[in-house]
Amino acid sequence: MTVHSGETTARRGRPGYDRDQVLAVAVQLFNEQGYDATSVADLASRLGLTKSALYHHFSSKEELLAIALETALSGLEAVLDRALAVEAPASDRLTAVISGAVGVLTDELAPVTLLLRLRGNSAVETAALERRRVFDQQVTALVRAAQDEGRIRTDVDAGVATRLIFGMINSVVEWYRPDGRVDPDLLAQDVLRVALDGLHPREQ
Amino acid sequence: MTVHSGETTARRGRPGYDRDQVLAVAVQLFNEQGYDATSVADLASRLGLTKSALYHHFSSKEELLAIALETALSGLEAVLDRALAVEAPASDRLTAVISGAVGVLTDELAPVTLLLRLRGNSAVETAALERRRVFDQQVTALVRAAQDEGRIRTDVDAGVATRLIFGMINSVVEWYRPDGRVDPDLLAQDVLRVALDGLHPREQ
DNA sequence: GTCTATAGAATGATAGAC
DNA sequence: GTCTATCATTCTATAGAC
């Protein structure tokens, strides 16, 4: 794309941002301040760019949101699709979905955080919430199938169980940090332990 | 400062709102739009009042926030204090804290929702977050004590376990509705089942 | 008449548009 | 950079139930 050459700036020789870098900073800022509360001017200021330079990379603020949400949702949906593609008991599929979802969450922490804080204030947001709802329904169906197999207890409603499990998973965005001392793979294991076997010790 | 006691006082003056009604509508609106994004004018408009009428009931917008957060936090802290007051194994205390927290959450849904969405943008908010942090630490200590008793598995870190359990509990604000079809007492029971015994059936 | 809930107008501060 | 809209807040006064 064209370089803005008409402006005299002090950032001579400084490499510009590419699309992905702008997106990453934008999502970070959205998570810090909230999407609505973040103006394009805020983002430009954080990047050290002008607004017009930003619009070289993206056509609108909402496009940044849409791309980030696509990253989060397609990651979660891919986990579910992979689990449903293999021939296996529902309870094994459910295990794969749970640990896979934790993996997406830790790998794509910022986009998933953005997704989980949506309130449905625009068409893009409601569309994303609808995709979450479909995802939830598919997982609920999986829980119900595992109940029919006798591998998931039936004294908890499948819908409630699904919401509780994903409540546990999703809450990880509130405290997990990639540079922290919790390993993402061990975290997925811990979530499986608590969700499936519970905190009480099992006598073997 | 006075704590409302819920008695229906015959209102004097022209028909209008009392302090509790204003507070309830305010917290509702804060949860819909976000605290920062809600102006006093928005609230006045929702109530069908002028802004100055609001200031008869409350000295500031932040006071509304502070009272709501006090309701949520004192409810949670009371649950913990009651659990720690009785002489009982840590694992029984933990059970009481978990089901008690679900009870506070369903009883005081709106204030707790507001608490859980805080980002720490002001002194009032950071103070509330600090009280949450202390609460978390005390629960973590309880989990650790229950581990020492052999009643909680030790292959999951106490801090991680506490965060996962409260992630599950707190996520209830995202979908629980008082007029819905999920009974709050049964919900507390379900949370205990999933958290302590897990979704896998236990052989008796 | 007194108490409570209310309205109207105005202030200073600030964020965003231009 | 200036201008304007909007913000939270305050002061003064009124309207209605007991």
pLDDT tens, position by position, A87-98: 999 999 999 999
Residues A125 and A181 in one domain: yes
The number of distinct structural domains making up chain B is: 2
Residue B51 domain boundaries: 19-59
CB contact under 8 A, A199 and B196: yes
Nucleotide nearest to A40 (CA to C1'): C16
Classify residue A26: in a domain, yes or no.
yes
Residue A116: give its domain's CATH number.
Answer: 1.10.357.10
Classify residue A154: in a domain, yes or no.
yes
Q: Is the pLDDT of residue A11 over 90?
A: no
Residues on chain B bordering chain A, Cβ-to-Cβ distance under 8 angstroms = 32, 34, 36-37, 119, 143, 150-153, 155-157, 160-161, 163-172, 174-175, 182, 187, 190-191, 193-202
Classify residue B7: in a domain, yes or no.
no
Classify residue A90: in a domain, yes or no.
yes
C-beta within 7 A of nucleic chain D, residues 24-83 of B: 38-42, 51-52, 55, 59-62
CB B152 within 8 A of CB B161: yes
Q: Count CB-CB contacts under 10 A for residue A114.
A: 25
Q: Count CB-CB contacts under 10 A for residue B60.
A: 12
Specify the DSSP class assigned to residue B4.
Answer: P
Classify residue B69: in a domain, yes or no.
yes
Residues A155 and A179 in one domain: yes
CB A71 within 8 A of CB A39: no
Residues A134 and A50 in one domain: no
Q: What percent of chain B has pLDDT over 90?
A: 88
Read off the pLDDT of residues B112-156 as tens digits, 9 standing for 90 and up: 999 999 999 899 999 999 999 999 999 999 999 999 999 999 999
CB A112 within 8 A of CB A72: yes
Residues A97 and A183 in one domain: yes
Q: Is the pLDDT of residue A2 over 70?
A: no
- Residue of A36, A165, A175 with shortest CB distance to B37: A36
Residues B117 and B184 in one domain: yes
Residue B29: give its domain's CATH number.
Answer: 1.10.10.60
Q: Count CB-CB contacts under 10 A for residue A3.
A: 8
Q: Is the pLDDT of residue B15 over 70?
A: no
Cβ of B93 near strand D (distance < 7 A): no
Residues B111 and B140 in one domain: yes
